[in-house]
Amino acid sequence: MKLTGAQIVIECLLEQKVDTVFGYPGGAILNVYDELYKNSDKIRHILTSHEQGAAHAADGYARSTGKVGVCMATSGPGATNLVTGIATAYMDSVPMVAITCNVTVPLLGKDSFQEVDIAGITTPITKHNFIVKDVEKLAPTIRRAFKIAKTGRPGPVLIDIPKDVTGAQAEYEFVEPAPIKRKIDKLREEDIDRAVAMIEKSKKPYIFVGGGAVISRASEEVRKFADIVDAPVCDTLMGKGTYPGTGDRYTGMLGMHGTKASNLGVSSCDLLIAIGTRFSDRILGNPKTFAKQAKVLQIDVDPVEINKNIIADAEIDGDVKEVLSRLIPKLSQMDHHEWMEHMRDLCEKYPLHYPHGRLTAPYAIQQIYKATDGDAFITTEVGQHQMWTAQYYLFKRPGQLITSGGLGTMGYGLGAAIGTAIGNPGRKVFNIAGDGSFRMNMNEIVTAVRNKLPVVEIVIDNGVLGNVRQWQNLFYGKRYSNTVLDSCVDYVKLAEAMGAKGLRATTKEEFDAALKAAMDIDTPVLIDTVIDKDDKVFPMVSPGTSISESYDDTDMKG
């Protein structure tokens, strides 16, 4: 049957079983929005307050559901407003399809009103992108975009469609999407056997889990693997929940703000088994001294990440879940009793700690953990609050923490919380934000209110840009250049003005009461959580130093 390009867009989304899109309309994309209106019973459109919020919402939806997130924007500034969200998804390997519409084909390249080369702009931050100038190619392009977004290492794909293509007609026929197979084309049996030999030879193995294990949904395999190898487990920020934070093998996060136990353990192990992690700079500290006593076995779906930041002694190229499923049966039960006892002693000797006499972010996060029985979805912005969340909320399952790890996008969390709440109706969603991050995209409170989403916004309010201030305090002679907000913003009144419930806490007792109230309210709630401006995230590894030189406030006093 003959359909317009706009109708083909909708039909292809339905082919892919898309039930929700996030976006903001405009002139160039009007044909598509007209068809969305006609199909509102099949596809729900969430109108955000800003296109960046739409991209982050699609991202949060994808991370929390495992589906492809979809966002839409018009040409020019509408399209460029998606860029930060697309880059965030790219850095964290999130499956997303961004659909933009452009000026008509004859006007392309002529600096027309609201024209921008969005395909050119997003080339470095997408897995692939397309500009569709022929309506006959529209359906195959959309289908290919979804396949690319989901296959192997996931990532965002952009489709740019000129307005006249959305109005032109072409034949359309329904095509059932082929199932996505796990990547095993480069998985070699000899690599598996070599890994088995390394593991069997090791006396002090350490398992290091990253975001690739979350994406692969390999938590069950990771737990079985840890048990049979009898090894301690640490993780990255993006790997949270793959091995439960309450597990007896878990030693905490690794790296700049990782636990002393994990940093010291990795520095003294003889085999580091890296599962779905790219060894970012925040993990390595000084790469020349990182895990220098250990051989490194790296497992990753993307061969580009193998030997990029750390040279591996052995590698396995393939989907994490598939690799571990093949590796586990070849291993016999191991016993590393002394090594495990050593790591438990380190965990007892170097626990996380914070001041207990007043309201702090770690206290608030631990109270949220207790109130939700550790079962909530937690999104974050970026900064000190993000690190405290990673340290003090003990994530039970993969996909439970939704945060911008690679790009470090301030303003990410509230949009992501909206997408998470839309994709997981009935589940409690908390966005933990610093006041600096919150101010960047706080307009999305309106989106949460409009859609009656029970999102709880925790604003860790210290009146400063806390993470940058911490660096200025430690490394820049306490010269607080432009990090004091000093804004006199009343976040409670602001929340109320946008239609949400606003509460304030300056003491532990006030926070407990506000949290209890928020848990019983089915509309958006903001809790302005006031803490000291000089609270710091510890432990910490200074830039360029070995992770074994991790220190905290006790060390500084000494």
Domains parsed from the chain with CATH numbers: 2-171 (3.40.50.970), 189-349 (3.40.50.1220), 361-540 (3.40.50.970)
Model-wide pTM > 0.85: yes
User: 116-155, pLDDT tens digit by residue?
Assistant: 999 999 999 999 999 999 999 999 999 999 999 999 999 9
Residue 351 phi, psi dihedral angles, 5° rounding: -75, 160
- How many CB atoms are closer than 10 A to CB 151? 16
Q: So what's the pLDDT on residue 186?
A: 82
Residue 556: pLDDT band with limits 50, 70, 90: confident
Cα gap 196→191, rounded to integer Å: 9
Phi-psi bin for 525: left (phi > 0), alpha (psi -120 to 50), beta? beta
Q: So what's the pLDDT on residue 183?
A: 78
Residue 184: pLDDT band with limits 50, 70, 90: confident
Which amino acid is present at 557? K
Distance of CA 269 to the CA centre of its chain: 29
Phi-psi bin for 488: left (phi > 0), alpha (psi -120 to 50), beta? left
- Which residue, among 81, 167, 146, has the nearest Cα to 116 in the 3D structure? 81
Cα gap 171→237, rounded to integer Å: 47
Which DSSP string corresponds to 257-271?
TS-HHHHHHHHH-SE
Residue partners of 411: CB distance under 8 A and separation at least 6? 52, 56, 84, 381, 437, 440, 441
| Arithmetic mean of pLDDT, 423-450 | 97
Q: So what's the pLDDT on residue 116?
A: 96
With tokens 């598509």, the residue in question is 32
Are the C-beta atoms of 83 and 158 separated by less than 8 Å?
A: no
Q: So what's the pLDDT on residue 395?
A: 98
| Arithmetic mean of pLDDT, 392-399 | 96
Could you tell me what percent of the chain has a pLDDT over 90? 96
For the chain, give the mean pLDDT: 96
Phi-psi bin for 188: left (phi > 0), alpha (psi -120 to 50), beta? beta
User: 315-361, pLDDT tens digit by residue?
Assistant: 999 999 999 999 999 999 999 999 999 999 999 999 999 999 999 99
Residue 339's Cβ-count burial label (10 Å; 0-12, 13-18, 19+) is buried
Which amino acid is present at 456? V
- Which residue, among 325, 389, 327, has the nearest Cα to 352 in the 3D structure? 389
Q: So what's the pLDDT on residue 247?
A: 96
Residue 9 reports pLDDT greater than 90: yes
| Arithmetic mean of pLDDT, 257-269 | 98
Are the C-beta atoms of 95 and 68 separated by less than 8 Å?
A: yes
Lowest mean pLDDT among 180-189, 325-334, 401-410: 180-189
